Structure 1
């Protein structure tokens, strides 16, 4: 079980960080809006990337800097757009959708946003395909067990923040709390966009 636990620790160490994907899942959880599809998209994406890394795709990614550059700029543009919408909600109370449990968007828009925040982030390829793939292959015969552990980390983390965010619902019953959250999300998205564009 050692490779599994090593993979679990490595996977959680990389995923438990403030980022665009986690911020979106948290927001959906607080709103109780399409949580299961969003969590499913994030977990499935991570699992696919992790096992692709274990299978040796990381070398191909490292050898295609042009592809990562395209992904980086597309991701930066998407984050800027997402940040602008978040800033609009924070600055204009009329743009806020009341957090009453009613679905404010479609399941498709939520799922596509989760997909974009995952697959337009070049760091996810470096983390999963390259880093986790390298760590897994260092385990020799236990590399697939390591990958399973890393995948289990994603399967634990996203449901935790998605469904666990309901505990914050009373705090976000006030529109002012949503304005603060959206302001923070806007700042985070813009910061991440600048970092992506700068290649950091």
Structure 2
């Protein structure tokens, strides 16, 4: 029973974070540059750890029962997502790409970590996914099931971020041309727009 509950959590987390978004794109680009992956993967995973534990502890259920808070969170989340979509559309229109053969990052470690924290914590959508959605589903399993569910989600989070960050170099052959980046950024824009619409309609 416990293992099955953990597997449900694992699957739910992957279904929420595998979609291309700002955080995943950032990790992908850093992975192609092959720099600072360990601290970035840890930041992304530890952020999920904190947010999932907040949700599973019952805070998510409290927030969910405050209609005004939910409306504000959804609107802010949609605005952020549409902002990401606009940036992706601009990159696609300009044909911006990353030279995967000479990918480097001249920014300081502090700057890169700061960017990762901002992308992770300033996106309201992450709170909807981890605190409210995962927290709500986890709590439906009662004790101790909710903690097994949470453990499964955190394993899923770690597996995904590690695979994306350290496995990015395997995608280098597919991302050598500006056309490939146009397709990637166009897909990002579409996904972000659809997610924003679902968020507002939900």
Under a length normalisation based on structure 2, what TM-score does the superposition of the two structures give?
0.79
8 Å Cα contact 2:32/2:168 also seen in 1: yes
8 Å Cα contact 1:89/1:179 also seen in 2: yes
Which structure 2 residues correspond to residues 133-152 of structure 1 after superposition, within 5 A?
Answer: 133-135=139-141, 137=142, 140-141=143-144, 143-152=146-155
1:111 aligns to 2:128 (yes or no): no
Structure 2 distance, partners of 1:131, 1:90, is: 37
Q: What is the aligned partner in structure 2 of residue 15 from structure 1?
A: 13
Structure 2 SS opposite 1:82? helix
Q: What is the aligned partner in structure 1 of residue 68 from structure 2?
A: 66
Q: What is the aligned partner in structure 2 of residue 29 from structure 1?
A: 31
Structure 1 spans left out of the alignment, 5+ residues: none
Q: What is the aligned partner in structure 1 of residue 44 from structure 2?
A: 42
Change (3 A) 1:53 1:124: closer
Structure 1 SS opposite 2:105? coil
Which structure 2 residues correspond to residues 66-85 of structure 1 after superposition, within 5 A?
Answer: 66-85=68-87
How many aligned positions are there? Answer: 193
2:185 equivalent among 172, 182, 186: 182
Tell me how far 1:118 sits from its aligned partner.
Answer: 6.3
Residue deviations 1:24-78 (CA, integer Å, cap 9, x gap): 3445434546544443233122212222233222321221222121111111111
Structure 2 distance, partners of 1:188, 1:43, is: 22
Structure 2 distance, partners of 1:171, 1:117, is: 29
8 Å Cα contact 1:19/1:188 also seen in 2: yes
Q: What is the aligned partner in structure 1 of residue 97 from structure 2?
A: 96
Tell me how far 1:87 sits from its aligned partner.
Answer: 0.9
Change (3 A) 1:27 1:101: closer
Change (3 A) 1:19 1:89: closer
Structure 2 spans left out of the alignment, 5+ residues: none
Structure 1 distance, partners of 2:104, 2:63, is: 41
Residue deviations 1:137-179 (CA, integer Å, cap 9, x gap): 2xx3454344333322222222122222321111112222111
Structure 1 SS opposite 2:75? helix
Tell me how far 1:194 sits from its aligned partner.
Answer: 2.0
Tell me how far 1:7 sits from its aligned partner.
Answer: 4.2
CA RMSD of aligned residues (A): 2.7
